[in-house]
Amino acid sequence: MFNKKKKEEEPIVENNQVEQEIADVQTEAIEENSTETVEEPIIELSLEEKLQQENSNLNDKYLRLFAEFDNYKRRTQKERVELLQTAGKDVVISLLPVLDDFERALKATENATEVNAIREGVMLVQTKLKSILGQKGLKEMESLNTVFDTDIHEAITKIPAPNDDLKGKVVDELEKGYTLNDKVIRFAKVVVGA
């Protein structure tokens, strides 16, 4: 009998342990469910915060890039204005000796009695000026006895051609035309034979 009671009590203890384990598992499941529902909004908040932080970082980068580009535009515009203001500086510097030659020629004309010497001096100054401008890319257009071309000539008037060979050609040149680096900067003013 004593053994029977012991055997009967043992299953009760085992049942209590099983019930306790079931209760523990249920409690853990409830705790997991309750922590999952509590953690989801926290995860969403942290995700939302991350997105807001990323958005603010991107906005900051955008504003910095925009400001940098704006500064670049201002700097290049300022450099362009400075370049335009000093673009002819090297040409002007190279023409200063010609200006000095003209001043010497004017002083020489005050006491000069011989015209040929003055004429030769002025021709030397003109040659020097043409040479300097030629080095910078300036070229004279040859227009006389060439076919009239509206791309390089400007017709002032038409006159009857003295012979048939000059019809449609330049008979006289009133003002020379010039090109700078093969681009027309001044059209030649010409008289065309009709």
- Tens of pLDDT along 82-141? 888 777 777 778 888 888 888 888 887 887 778 888 888 888 888 888 888 888 888 888
Query: Do 66 and 95 sit in the same domain of this protein?
Result: no
Residues 131 and 69 in one domain: no
Range of the structural domain that residue 185 is part of: 139-194
Residue 158's DSSP bridge partners are: 192
Domain count of the chain?
Answer: 3
Residue 152 sits in the same domain as residue 120: no
Q: Is pTM, for the whole model, over 0.85?
A: no
Residues 28 and 63 reside in one and the same domain: yes
Considering the domain architecture, whether residues 123 and 176 belong to the same structural domain is answered as no
Is the same domain home to 96 and 156? Answer: no
Same domain, 35 and 57: yes
pLDDT at 4 over 80: no
Please choose, from the candidates 185, 184, 189, 193, the residue with its C-alpha nearest in 3D space to the C-alpha of residue 155.
189
- Are 4 and 73 in a shared domain? yes
Nearest to 169 by CA among 152, 190, 139, 138: 190
Look at residue 44 and tell me whether its pLDDT is greater than 70: no
What is the model's pLDDT at position 169? Answer: 85
pLDDT tens per residue across span 16-31 = 666 677 667 666 666 6
